[in-house]
Chains A and B, each alone.
Chain A
Amino acid sequence: MTDGAKTIIGIRSVTKRFNGNVLAVDDVSLDIKSGEFFALLGPSGCGKTTLLRMIAGFEVPSDGSVEIDGQVVDDVPPNKRPVNMVFQSYAVFPHMTVADNVAYGLKMDGVSSSEAKGRVEEALGLVQLPGYGERMPDQLSGGQRQRVALARALVKRPKVLLLDEPLSALDAKLREAMQLELRNLQAKVGITFVMVTHDQDEALSMADRVAVMESGRVRQLAAPRDLYEFPNCRFVADFIGKMNLFEGVVKSSAGSEISVGIDGIGDVRLPFDGSAQGKIGIAIRPEKAMVTADKPSDEDCLSLEGQVTQVAYYGNESHVFVKTASGLDFSVTTQNNERSVVAATNPGDRRWVSWRRKDTLVLAE
């Protein structure tokens, strides 16, 4: 994905109301670039699936319009749109063989049966199901059915492949393998993928760009790294990964610094580029903070003293929960990269929690 790539899907101020008043998508505008892996991420009911279905043509926007490859498609029925979808339930036709399933779209397009045969074989090879053509869907595992659904959509060489929660029905191990495989497949075929998911790991690990949605609106659109390191609001900060969130008030801002009064921490100066005033959110990722026995002497660090309330051990890492003297609950993720550190922190211990000023996020929204 490059910034210069052309827009393949343009969402133009799209609003969708159901039954006249339930607002599912609220004035969303997006540019999805040709060749990118795009994810729509959000909790259930945030409007991401509705948005996907409007691209596919199963829902019509109440306001605004959808463009595919520069053309407004609001009056184009789903069967005439150059996009194909992989359904959450896969929707592999149970009364047809795998080959007939994959050939279905080609048959509808009037592709000759000899050409279709070759393309079906090719598509089944692409999803690593060569020679499965004669099987019936009920002879396949869930993962295999999903590959059939993928092949069935990709064989039509759509401009955009839409994926509705593609991995949600798979078990955890298979899901992880499919994440990589889908990513590789997308790179191989070069088709734009638009994926809907509620799973942030999926979105972060697979997509080039992620749009985080909440209550029908896009709260942030960014590359996974930026989304995680620079969330633009409390919702995204909290939704993506884990976060220590505190409330603060802006005292003054000058240049690239801001002076903030944080509840339970006190007045601190933080590096900040934007403009903010009044009440703000202060956020620190658990893995960006440290737990130490003594107060760090580093000037760039902010420190709080507190008592360890709980240590949750996960093997590779531990989550240490500290209640500070001022009453804040702080969670710190520590890597267990030495055997000896495991037992170094126990509930009841008095510890210092510290983090670097530059790792502190200031959230205006």
Chain B
Amino acid sequence: MDPWHKFRRIFYSVGIPPTIWLIAFFLVPLGLIWIFSFGEKVGVVGIDITWTLDNYVRSFNPDILTIFAKSLWLAAVATFICLVIGLPVALGIVYAPNKWKGLLLLGIMLPFWTNLLIRTYALIAVLRTRGYVNFTLEWLDGAARWFLELFGMGGIALAILGERFQALELLYNDNAVILGLVYVHLPFMVLPLYAALERLDRSYLEASLDLGAGHLRTLWNVVVPLALPGIISGLIITFIPALGSFLTPDLLGGPDSAMIATIIERQFKSANDWPFGSALSFLLMYITFGALAIRALMARRRGGDGMGG
């Protein structure tokens, strides 16, 4: 590589626009939010920067902490489910015939290109009481009743299935939020896992099988340890956006399944308390940094081989 200063003009012309863009649209707004977080609300629109720590102190009240804890919990559960689903999916794509691989990866990527709002409403259409899941269940219920009555076991049908079909309440609770988070964030998990598994030398797997291990033990003893950098990358880049989602809990969650981003959004909009919202934003960011620091630490312990994704 030639040193950059040999091509000073090219370097500047290529380097300056993105730098300006980054400063103007990322660092400056971020700095403003950081400054707001030390401010006080004055009137309807005014903010006085008094360098008070009050907003941060307010964040440490039980209500907010509960929501933080709940957000961490929901994001963690969703991330874990993504891993459990994503690992077999990634393995499946890696071992699929070559001509199918591109199509399968496209299938994973496709939701990325669809608006999040549309996807979430589609999920609502599936899950609501008059939705496709309940329609299917109702039909199965009806079929079962008909079948049992055909053999004169109407009493049993009544005992097991009850008086009439009760639609399941699938929406507006924590499970709906987790399902939504998994649905939205699965590609974030599958892609780094796929990248890590694709690079894995297949002779390791064959050696494990050859030495007497079954598929599950090979997965656990060989695939998982060797794909660990990719798994950690997948966990982190799934967990971070899941932790920060607000649309999913807003639309799918019940009154008590608000996540921290929902609260932040509320501060900037309906509550009109920008300083408090700013403080919460930065606390969320510090948690994210914490997650990244853990990843870096694990990468260093593995001899600097942590850039799995």
Contact = CB atoms under 8 A, between A and B. Distances in A.
Interface of A: 56-58, 77-80, 83-85, 87-89, 91, 93-95, 104-105, 108-109, 149, 152-153, 156
27 contacts: A57-B210, A58-B206, A58-B209, A77-B209, A78-B209, A79-B211, A83-B210, A84-B210, A84-B211, A87-B203, A87-B206, A88-B203, A89-B203, A91-B201, A91-B203, A91-B204, A93-B204, A93-B207, A93-B226, A94-B226, A104-B221, A108-B212, A149-B207, A152-B207, A152-B211, A153-B210, A156-B212
A348 B80 CA distance: 80
Contacts of A152: 207, 211
Contacts of A93: 204, 207-208, 222, 226
A77 B218 CA distance: 14
A79 B212 contact: yes
A109 B204 CA distance: 18
Interface string B180-214: 00000000000000000000010110111111111
B206 A108 contact: no
Nearest to A85: B210
B225 interface: yes
B210 A56 contact: yes
A108 B208 CA distance: 9
B213 A108 contact: yes
Interface string B206-236: 1111111110010001100110000000000
Given A58-B206, A78-B206, A91-B203, A104 B211 contact: yes
A63 to B, nearest CB: 21
A152 B203 CA distance: 14
Nearest to B97: A19
Interface in B132-158: none
Interface size class of B (residues with CB under 8 A): 10 to 19
A79 B212 CA distance: 4
Given A79-B214, A108-B217, A109-B212, A87 B226 contact: no
A95 B225 contact: yes
Contacts of A94: 226
A14 to B, nearest CB: 19
A57 B206 CA distance: 10
Interface in B10-34: none
B225 to A, nearest CB: 5
Nearest to B206: A58
A56 B203 CA distance: 13
A79 B206 contact: no
